[in-house]
Amino acid sequence: MSETTAPVYVVDDDVSMRESVGSLIRSAGLRVEAFESAQQFLARPRTEVPSCLVLDVQLPGLSGLDLQQELARTDLQIPIIFLTGHGDIGMSVRAMKAGALEFLTKPFDDEVLLGAIRRAIVRHHKRRLAAEKALGHSIVGDGPAMRRLLELVSRVAPKDITLLIRGETGTGKELIASLVHAQSQRAARPFVRFNCAAIPGELAEAELFGHTRGAFTGAVQARRGFFAEADGGTLVLDEVSELSLPVQAKLLRVLQEGEIQPVGAARVDRVDVRVVACTNRDLADEVRAGRFREDLYYRLAVLELLLPPLRDHREDIPALAAEFARRHAERFGMQDVRLLAELLDALQRLDWPGNVRQLENAVARIVALSNGGEIGLEAFAATTAACAEVPPEGALNLREQVEAVERGLIGRTMTAVGGNQSEAARRLGLSRGSLIERLKKYGTMVPG
């Protein structure tokens, strides 16, 4: 455990106790943030998910036990260690039943408290490791938004309920659906995907529910359908908003009754399928517009996961880009590929309207066109040209946007190295001659 671990939060109205506990936690190489009341804790900026919470029971206004109940109603599971000078058996039993990790009394033993905190941090990390093991590969990104999402997935995946995953194109909806299945009780059963936007409306019914031979023109043989293939497991309905209203009605019957009727068949078959629906649209808006059935919306959205766009968790971009570079270098048979910090910084500043998918495509292109080894800003212009948003009328055009970003990066680098052209060129991944050309182009003073 180190400074990179999510911080430990301390809530205690006694300033000397806050300072004492905080000093102890920092002595163990951990970050700590302190709050004097539950209200102050709840009003904090939600920039990070704490690894654990050291919480006093007797607090002004909202008590520690009340705060525990409040947190239990949120999506996050924060390990709680109660630390109090007013504890009794009944109070401790109540706290532990509500999910507290420890219930310690003041004055506390330093090693006992640190041991409890370490166990809480291990529990915090185990959720992520369990998710990665279930999925079969590492999950990249450790920012607050990603931690909140993984915490929520770990809570809902084992519960056999219908799930709606919503997010912009390229945010990783199918990855989260895969993770839900991998952590569910159906993990050993089929995991089937159906793209509702890829099949014309009149054929979607036959694809989903199956059909008999001769049920329609071209049906030369019977087909089971995606629901039958997913029986016992999970069916992901990607872009579910694209289903026609008649097919939506039949989907509603499956969710309500657990029955499907293949096209052209008189029989009704029972299926046991967990449905995970994905969409890049707000289905509530689609309902109001008359394009989506309200009853089906409520059946699908028993619980809704909202995936954040990449621009809302930019802190994960360097790690994602580095991982994509590693994967595609391996795919292309290249070795020792590394994106320089200046390039990662440039990638982190872009908005990526196509989200993670667009970032991966851009990195794959950078790696494919490189000679391997260290990759710097010489690849940046091509990447920016591929991923910049279409500017509104009157805004900077693409060339001007690229030049503005490049000018800023070069200026900051020159300042950081005190005007040393050779060092700046090395950090930027440019030759010294190329750097001088750019300095002249942008009217920047070229130090002697």
Strand order in the sheet with 102-105: 32-35, 8-11, 52-55, 80-84, 102-105
62 or 122, higher pLDDT:
62
Give, rounded to a whole angstrom, the gap between the first and last alpha carbons of the chain: 47
Report the pLDDT value the prediction gives residue 188, as an integer from 0 to 100: 86
Residue position matching structure tokens 């016992």: 232
Q: Contact at 8 Å (CB) between 71 and 47?
A: no
The 10 Å CB-count burial string (b at 16+, else e) for 199-226 is: beeeebbbbbbbbbeebeeeeeeebebb
Res. 386: pLDDT tops 80:
no
Report the pLDDT value the prediction gives residue 297, as an integer from 0 to 100: 95
241 or 263, higher pLDDT:
241
Q: Is the pTM of this model over 0.85?
A: no
The mean pLDDT of 263-287, rounded to a whole number, is 91
Q: Hey, which residues does 398 pair with through a beta bridge? A: none
Per the prediction, the chain carries an average pLDDT of 81
User: Considering only CA atoms, which of 390, 393, 333, 327 is closest in space to residue 360?
Assistant: 327
For the CA atoms of 141, 146, 152, 153, the dihedral, rounded to the nearest 10 degrees, stands at -40
Going by pLDDT thresholds of 50, 70 and 90, the confidence category of residue 4 is very low
For the chain, domains (ranges, CATH) are 8-130 (3.40.50.2300), 157-306 (3.40.50.300), 311-441 (1.10.8.60)
For 149-177, write each residue's pLDDT tens digit.
877 888 888 889 999 999 998 888 988 99
The mean pLDDT of 56-61, rounded to a whole number, is 87
Report the pLDDT value the prediction gives residue 244, as an integer from 0 to 100: 92
Going by pLDDT thresholds of 50, 70 and 90, the confidence category of residue 131 is low
Report the pLDDT value the prediction gives residue 393, as an integer from 0 to 100: 46
Phi, psi of 385 (to 5 degrees): -60, -30
For 307-359, write each residue's pLDDT tens digit.
999 998 888 898 889 888 988 888 888 888 889 888 888 888 888 888 898 89
Report the pLDDT value the prediction gives residue 206, as an integer from 0 to 100: 87
Res. 130: pLDDT tops 90:
no
Cα 99 from Cα 248, distance rounded (Å): 40
Helix (H, G, I), strand (E, B) or coil at 405: helix
Phi, psi of 112 (to 5 degrees): -65, -45
Cα 443 from Cα 281, distance rounded (Å): 46
Going by pLDDT thresholds of 50, 70 and 90, the confidence category of residue 387 is very low
Q: In this structure, how many other beta carbons lie within 10 angstroms of the beta carbon of residue 109?
A: 9
User: Considering only CA atoms, which of 180, 184, 173, 175 is closest in space to residue 232?
Assistant: 184
130 or 414, higher pLDDT:
414
Report the pLDDT value the prediction gives residue 24, as an integer from 0 to 100: 92
Going by pLDDT thresholds of 50, 70 and 90, the confidence category of residue 389 is very low
For 68-108, write each residue's pLDDT tens digit.
887 776 545 678 888 887 666 666 666 666 667 778 888 88
Res. 237: pLDDT tops 60:
yes
Helices 144-156 and 110-135 meet at what angle, rounded to 10? Answer: 70
Res. 295: pLDDT tops 70:
yes
